[in-house]
Chains A and B, each alone.
Chain A
Amino acid sequence: MLVLWPYLPTKAEKVFDEGGELKVGLPNAANAPLMTIKLYVAGVTNPISVEARDIIYDLAFQSLAATLPNGTRVPLLATQWTISPDGRVYTIKLRENVKWSDGVAFNASDVLFTWDVYRSQVQFDEFGISPYVEKAEMVNATAVRFTLKEPFSSWLEYFLTYMWILPKHEFKTVAAQTGTEGINKSFTIGTGPFQIVNFKPGDMVVHLVRNTNYWGPKPHLQNITIILLNPDANIPGLLQTKQVDLVRLPSGTMVPAILSQENMTIDIYPSQQFVGDQEVGAALVLFNCLRPPYDNKLVRKAISLAIDTQAIVDYALGGYGAVASPGGFPADLKTWVPSDLGPWKRNVTEAKRLLEKAGFVKGADGFYQFPNGTAWKPVATTRARGASTVILAIIDQNLKEAGINVQSQVLASASMTNAWYTGTYEFSVLITNRPTFPDFIINIFRVDPGQIAPVGVHSGNTPGYQGYHDWCRWASAAQTKAIGDARRASTYQDQFRYYGEAQRIVADELPYFTLYYTQSLWSRRTDTFEGYDVYASQGFMFPMAALATSIHLPSYEAKPPPPPPDNTMLYVAGAVVIIVVLAALYFLTQRK
């Protein structure tokens, strides 16, 4: 198999002088907090946002393989993989002569260690693949074998591409990862072409140096400096003053400002083919499928048809995005999206027809009412973040034009999430990132890892509960079956067929409506380094990697337990004395 070098452009452009430094700016939504609590590698990367963090990790850590936009799998730490005829036993051969950045040899025990970490906590295994595994064993120092309980056609994709491999010798035990020291170390020891130098929470700059022990071709650059930017930062200014060489744009609205300057250009990566990450920015409308009238799929469909998604792409994204397929994936993801599920088009006439079919009647004020004459005022909500507000403003107008008297509200972030979690919302706009791998269709908003939820399962305070929340409160036996079939499929055609089925069900039922997928916009100066051609080089500056293995709860200075409260009385007495003295002084010294 052709081994592709994802880190260098193939055309020998003059990128940098040997050993140069590349400064990359990544917008970091500072309110993307608690990333440490979430699943990913090395809690100390807080408060780096998901997008930025993944790009950084991809430089220092590697998964076993990576998947290119056209579906080809690129071997990284694994070179070969075979599946037994019954589809249950996976034998994965690892690359030989790989060293960690500190010189220690990489071998199968690292992979098994990482797997142990990954499945040690249910929240790490976001895709629910560990329940499928019956046995994980080391064949020899360079091969591992996983035996599944039943065939799961997508298991390999998750396993190979969504786990960053961690160095066992740094931790030795899964539990050891919780110590601060362990985490700091882990962060700097990887198999990737670059090595993170050091980082502490609150830092807005991450330094990477070339990993001299890297198994692949020597990276051209000596240093990469990743600068985390506030999304409001003056990015055109930074480019102009050469503070950054390459920067990812948080939105399309500043594109005209950049292009109007000399020596600057924008590289656009089409929706699902985002460089460096298998997650793509998307926006969805979530329906609370347990709450009338949204339990009627005609109503959900009508609302979705009334929304002008193209206008949203044009205005909110500046045109740099694409309308999604109603099945939930990018419309141009030809490898997995059936051709009959093309991009959604607005159709107000059809929307009205469906509403009328559902029983609504047009009132005297031109808005639809319930059959019994009460007014219908649906409440659309979203979180208070700039882009969501703009999208909701557009949807508000679209729906009103179609005769739906929507009341739009912007809620505080916590209130919105609470509403999703407790099912007190009607329908909402959510901006998120989604992997574009089709098996992921099952994972959105499901409750139990690996299963489609029974609806109505609730909060984390329920004893024994472990998992996420089905915000849409929707389930379908047909979908469960389709996904199950797809996972058991043994050929790509069958997979395509069954995943297509699953998408058709979503497109028909619309428990959530996918508005768009964004394009990824990167900007750079044309005179600092020559362009790099992503497709020609078959690779990216920042290679694909996936969701990480994670370690346990984030680094935490283990403090000694607080002193037992036998000092309490002392403090109470002290406080009382202080207050009394102060008050006395104050009143005593007061004279008219």
Chain B
Amino acid sequence: MLTARYLLRRTANAALTFFIAVVLIFIVPRLMPGSPVDMFASQYRLPGPVVAELTARFGLDKPIETQFMLYIKNVMLTFPPDFGLSYNFHPATVWSLLANALPWTIFLVGTSALVTAALGVTLGMICAWYRGSKLETIISSVSVFLLSVPYFWVAMILVLVFGVFLRLFPFSGATSPSLIHRQFDLPFVIDALYHAILPIMTLTVGSFASYTLIMRDSMASTLGEDYILTAEAKGVRKADIVVKHAGRNAMLPVMTLFTLRLGFMVGGTILAETVFTYPGVGLLIFGAITGLDYPLIQGCFFVLAFTVILSTYVADLLYTFLDPRIKY
């Protein structure tokens, strides 16, 4: 049951975790050997005066306490959070880059999360229905197998099969390059979906297995409960039992898994986006890290930490809310 105290405690917990994460995100780049400015000064062979000017521009000439204060102010107390200018995409701001990349990742993650959940839950229910049959064994085995498949490899296989051999789907980019007038109209949407098919398939194949198995186990234990027995004795149809009675209760773990997963998926799309050169947050992070673009790294990690903490928080609350048996 969701009490006010529980809510408060959870919120405080999440906020505290987030705050610590924000602080860590500030500290860690500065712990790395060499200041960020030195790094790119040496990399691009910049002469002294240029380095000095850049240091000033990126605000790195101030004492660390001031930098930290400014960081906290810009990041937590303003919206949109201001991480400054990206080194690599100078003079674009970090936030503008994130704002460009986030929608693509959210689109990808959101769609595949829904598809994955739907597919996984359905298969899980089928497993429960046909408990002990060959079908169930096949589905379970395939699911277990898929759990250990490296999903970037799945991406590569999909590219081979659908992109290269069958030439059905495009395997790079989020939209056709020629669709450069980015209006949000039907051809654009269709084109975006077309380009998203393979990445979504990849993410789905990589994740539905856990939904299936969890749903199956959850259904198995729910179906063993007394009230199901009662319903059967009363003559309720099997379909109704499975879907309405057991299914709804068994969904609980799935819901929490779903919300949890959603948060982690944002960071987890790095591999898929790299294989498909899909311009989302994953590709942005990867480019930022390998290009040592510190402001952008900070911004990306901030977004990731935020989504994960948020989804964990929502998952917690959801579980408590949905399951009246839990008392806190």
Contact = CB atoms under 8 A, between A and B. Distances in A.
B57 A582 contact: no
Question: Nearest 4 A-B pairs (CB), nearest first?
Answer: A33-B88, A589-B9, A585-B12, A201-B92
B48 A201 contact: no
B277 interface: yes
A469 B19 contact: no
A371 interface: no
B88 A34 contact: yes
A455 to B, nearest CB: 17
Nearest to B278: A230
Given A25-B177, A589-B12, A202 B69 contact: no
Nearest to A206: B180
Interface residues of A, number: 75
Contacts of B47: 122-123, 460, 465-467
Nearest to A467: B47
B222 interface: no
Given A37-B44, A414-B34, A586-B16, 6 more contacts: A34-B40, A234-B173, A238-B177, A242-B178, A421-B42, A589-B12
B50 A123 contact: yes
B5 interface: yes
Nearest to A261: B167
A237 B170 contact: yes
Interface string A399-422: 000000000000011100110010
15 contacts: A31-B290, A33-B291, A37-B44, A46-B92, A123-B47, A202-B96, A225-B178, A234-B172, A237-B172, A413-B292, A553-B50, A553-B57, A582-B16, A589-B6, A590-B9
A63 B111 CA distance: 51
Contact of A34 (B44, B49, B57): B44
Dominant secondary structure of chain A at its interface with chain B:
loop
Nearest to A38: B44
B8 A589 contact: yes
A370 B64 CA distance: 49
B175 to A, nearest CB: 10
B277 A233 contact: yes
Interface of A: 23, 25, 30-31, 33-34, 36-38, 43-44, 46-47, 121-123, 180, 200-202, 204-205, 207, 225, 227, 229-230, 232-234, 237-238, 240-244, 384, 412-414, 417-418, 421, 459-469, 553-557, 562, 565, 567-568, 571-572, 575, 578-579, 582-583, 585-586, 589-590
Contacts of A202: 89, 92, 96-97, 100
A78 to B, nearest CB: 30
Interface string B6-34: 10110011011001000000000000001
A263 to B, nearest CB: 15
Interface string B274-290: 00010000000001001
B42 A459 contact: yes
B42 A243 contact: no
B192 interface: no
B70 interface: yes
Contacts of B46: 37, 123, 460
B292 A243 contact: no
A414 B39 contact: yes
A572 B70 CA distance: 11
B103 interface: no
Interface residues of B, number: 59
Contacts of A553: 50, 53-54, 57
Contact of B177 (A43, A123, A244): A244
A556 B9 contact: no
Contacts of A464: 48
Interface string B172-194: 11001110100000000000000
- With a 10 A CB-CB cut-off, give which of B41, B46, B91, B173 has the most chain A CB atoms: B91
Given A237-B172, A465-B47, A565-B69, A30 B287 contact: yes
Given A33-B293, A413-B290, A465-B48, A582 B91 contact: no
Contact of A31 (B50, B53, B171, B291): B291
B94 to A, nearest CB: 11
Interface string B72-107: 110000000000010111111000110010000000
A417 B40 CA distance: 9
Contacts of A557: 91
A465 B42 CA distance: 13
A552 B188 CA distance: 39
A465 to B, nearest CB: 5
B243 interface: no
Contacts of B39: 414, 418
Nearest to A584: B12
B50 A37 contact: yes
Contacts of A232: 172, 277
A16 to B, nearest CB: 15
Contacts of B177: 23, 25, 204-205, 227, 229, 238, 243-244
A583 B16 contact: yes
